Amino acid sequence: MKVVIIGGVAAGPKAASKIIRLNPEADVTIIEKDKYLSYAGCGLPYYVSGEVKEQKELMCTPVGVVRDPVFFQKVKNVHVLTETEALEVDRPGKRVRIRRNSDGEESWREYDKLILATGSLPLVPPLPGKELKNVFTLHGVQDADGIKAVLAKEKARDVVIVGGGLIGVEMTEALVKKGCRVTIVEMFPQIFRMLDWEMAQLVAQHLESHGVKILTSTKVEAFTGKDQVKEVVTDQGTLPADMVILSVGVRPQVQLAKAAGLDIGATGAIKVDVYQATSDPDIYAAGDCVECRDLATRKVCYMPMGSTANKQARVAANNICGVRDTFPGVLGSTICKVFDYAVARTGLTEATAREMNYKVVTASAPGPDRAHFMPEAKSLFLKIVVDTKTRRLLGVQATGPGDADKRLDVAVTALTARMTVDQIANLDLCYAPPYSPAMDNLITAANVARNKMDGYLDGVSAREVKGMLDQKRDFIFLDTRSQGEYDEVRLPNSTLIPLGALRKRWQELPKDQEIVAFCKISLRGYEAALILKAEGFKKVRVMDGGVAMWPYEKIKG
């Protein structure tokens, strides 16, 4: 069996390796137009920062062997043609026309099965000056080397990142570590649109605490400079820039598939079935060039991720070799590092769930990621979204310096199994003080949601409270923390009555007035609400997340 694979970064090498494992007699060829093969594109920001010391580390196996053409030939028995471009797929003739970059020589490669792993291309807005020197994308090793060269030789001081998504924000840390003054320009009202606004705002505040300037609702109009970029012109003013990184997303690379007459999906990516087969039964596709099914929205989607590419490639390889396998879809599970914060989400955000006409309840659960008395405990800010009709978990978001990844991975499992918050609240998760609280953060969030749905807790979001304050609505914003906590940092227009004093001082509060109680994480706020309700107060709510998850300016000192 002859298998030709077009694309040699993530999906292509994975598929080739699996095919050879299943069918050692197969004749497998990878065609890759660039010289770099099987590299970790998601590691590029860490290569720029210097955390990954050498370029070859991005292309090595876990034991340090470089995955180059010699490696694939000797270890995998896979033929690799690097710096060779696939120009045409002749479906009736079952062959691919290729051209060698070094001398332009063209030839044909026959196949029994073909895999398209052509990946994606960076979106480059058609802005004046985009061709100026020091305007980069970050889509390959060459881009990373170019950025590193500017940082090393020209000592770029002012860097503007256009786009507040994953790659742009991941690059921010690398640039700050190199001594750059970084500005993120985002045309939408928030960075990280994969999160709900208030969660994204917590990340924005953390970035700003590290000196990063964030301009949202700001549109870039042009880049100016004589030979290299010197300024970024926006609709809000002009920014100095020694370097610009365009990070506005990617699009699937589907020219070959289109020209060959393969079906292209609604997302603009190659349409495939659950077996990763295209509209031609002898052609499969995997990775950033294909569309997926979103398990949360039940719609087709485009979610280019290295992890997804590898899984899809394995499914394609299995089916090519006669092993029936399917790829069910994705939940949009994403995590990235922003200085010492993790930023993660899976499933539906509150905004998306409401757009889909779910009646939802949300629960914010800030707290330490392990027993609070352990010196290594760190804060984790968690938000869950729940369908009130079925009580099923719909989505989870997390940020903060604490361990977000394991909570999100449990959430992914729960979402896949369509679990309710009642089931999640009683999961037998591992517990020991160095690893988690006795009631894990995700379990606590599930219980908060249950309390809301069962009528034990009347919650209100920080965003709604801010609106009440801005409208000068007549209510008591009751802070139940200690005097020392209040003196250190407080929220605007709040009234302090520490929880320990509330049973003696509740008479100071008018029973006919609305009260919103809170504390650092709103656990004491919840206790305060129960005390007041027991004393006959009717209009008492608890602010989700407390001071820890207040996404607005706080009063210090």
- Per-domain residue ranges of the chain: 2-39+55-121+251-320, 135-248, 340-420+432-446, 459-556
Q: Could you tell me the two tokens for 384?
A: 């869950």
Helix 462-470 vs helix 197-209: angle between axes, to the nearest 10 degrees?
80
What residue type is assigned to position 315 of the chain?
V
Task: Name 164's Cβ contacts closer than 8 Å, sequence gap at least 6.
Answer: 184, 185, 186, 188, 190, 191, 192, 193, 214, 216
CA dist., res. 241 & res. 127, Å (int): 15
- Residues annotated as catalytic are 42
What would the CATH number be for the domain defined by 135-248? 3.50.50.60
CA dist., res. 220 & res. 183, Å (int): 12
For residue 29, CA distances in Å to 17, 37, 203, 282 come to: 11, 13, 44, 16
User: For the segment 297-353, what is each residue's pLDDT rounded down to a tens digit?
Assistant: 999 999 999 999 999 999 999 999 999 999 999 999 999 999 999 999 999 999 999
Apex 493 CA angle, 492 and 495, nearest 5 = 115
For the beta carbon of residue 521, count every other beta carbon within 10 angstroms: 22
Segment 67-89 mean pLDDT: 92
Q: What is the pLDDT of residue 1?
A: 96
User: For the segment 89-128, what is each residue's pLDDT rounded down to a tens digit?
Assistant: 999 999 999 999 999 999 999 999 999 999 999 999 999 9
Q: What is the pLDDT of residue 37?
A: 85
Task: Name 347's Cβ contacts closer than 8 Å, sequence gap at least 6.
Answer: 296, 331, 332, 385, 393, 394, 395, 396, 411, 412, 415
Q: Please choose, from the candidates 251, 329, 314, 328, the residue with its C-alpha nearest in 3D space to the C-alpha of residue 284.
A: 314
Share of the chain above pLDDT 90, in %: 87
Q: What is the dihedral of CA 123, 125, 130, 136, to 10 degrees?
A: -30
Q: Could you tell me the two tokens for 457?
A: 């807790």
User: For the segment 225-236, what is each residue's pLDDT rounded down to a tens digit?
Assistant: 999 999 999 999
User: For the segment 364-394, what is each residue's pLDDT rounded down to a tens digit?
Assistant: 999 999 999 999 999 999 999 999 999 999 9
Q: What is the pLDDT of residue 152?
A: 85
What would the CATH number be for the domain defined by 340-420+432-446? 3.30.390.30
Same fold, 2-39+55-121+251-320 and 135-248: yes
Looking at domain 2-39+55-121+251-320, which of 3.40.630.30, 3.50.50.60, 3.40.50.1980, 3.30.420.40 is its CATH number?
3.50.50.60
CA atoms within 13 A on the CB side of 396: 35
Q: Could you tell me the two tokens for 370?
A: 């392990």
Is residue 131 packed enough to be buried (19+ CB in 10 Å), middle (13-18) or exposed (0-12)?
Answer: exposed
Instruction: Say if residue 66's pLDDT is above 90.
Output: no
Q: What is the pLDDT of residue 53?
A: 86
CATH architecture of 459-556: 3-Layer(aba) Sandwich (3.40)
Task: Name the strand (E) or helix (H) holding 220.
Answer: strand 220-224
Backbone angles phi, psi at 453, to 5 degrees: -70, -30
Helix 197-209 vs helix 166-177: angle between axes, to the nearest 10 degrees?
10
Q: Could you tell me the two tokens for 398?
A: 């997390």
CB of 465 closer than 8 Å to CB of 516 = yes
